[in-house]
Amino acid sequence: MAQLLAATFISLTFTDQKNGIKGEKLFHVTNGQPSACPVCAITRRIIHLKLHSAPLNTPLHTYYDDSGRRCSVSATIITSLLRAAALSIPGHAGVDPANIAARSLHASGAMALLLGGMDPDKIRIVGRWKSDAMFRYLHAHALPLIQENSRIMFHGGHYSLVTRHDRTV
């Protein structure tokens, strides 16, 4: 267990996913946030499964309840927990909890990366988007994206338009 708890890198292999690619790998490294670190979260899942003597091929979405019964995390459960968490925040952080769903996590992660300054091409790679579909899910009106637009446009430099009369043949 000590070796598992010391992990700083983890690799996940998808046996099946909606994009149809079997055996695709996804890698994570620690981020220094114990409650929001993907490596720590996966390590906790593995420890939980080991403590319940789960077979080695048990999916990570499996858990054992207080009575020892084997259960699975579903999108419905995740959506319910996300909405409950939003309801616990005064003013719901400006988000209607009814609009929160597990399926929005992929797009929300992409939006967070974009607002954090990550290059959109890298976001596509990390998010395993095979097309520019990701851009349909990003919010072009997000304040951090638009707050400097007017200033940038106003101070964007001076330029001249080339007209037909300015061209030399």
Q: In angstroms, rounded to a whole number, what is the distance separating the alpha carbons of residues 37 and 5? A: 12
Q: Is the pTM of this model over 0.75?
A: no
User: Residue 158 has what pLDDT?
Assistant: 65
pLDDT tens-digit profile, the chain (169 residues): 888 888 999 988 878 776 667 777 888 899 988 788 999 999 999 999 999 999 998 999 999 999 999 999 999 999 999 999 999 998 887 888 998 899 888 888 888 888 888 888 888 887 777 777 777 767 666 777 777 767 777 677 666 667 766 666 5
User: Residue 79 has what pLDDT?
Assistant: 96
Are residues 49 and 17 in contact, defined by beta-carbon separation less than 8 angstroms? no
Q: In angstroms, rounded to a whole number, what is the distance separating the alpha carbons of residues 116 and 142? A: 12
User: Residue 24 has what pLDDT?
Assistant: 79
Give domain limits for the chain.
1-68, 74-169
What are residue 70's DSSP bridge partners?
64
Q: Please, which residues have CB within 8 angstroms of residue 132's CB and are 6 or more apart in sequence?
A: 124
User: Residue 12 has what pLDDT?
Assistant: 86
User: Residue 139 has what pLDDT?
Assistant: 67
Which DSSP string corresponds to the chain? -HHHHT--EEEEEES--TT--TTEEEEEE--S-TTS-HHHHHHHHHHHHHHTT--TT--TTEEE-TT--EEE--HHHHHHHHHHHHHTSGGGGG--GGG--GGGHHHHHHHHHHHTT--HHHHHHHTT-SSTTHHHHS-TT-HHHHTTHHHHHHTS----PPPTTT---
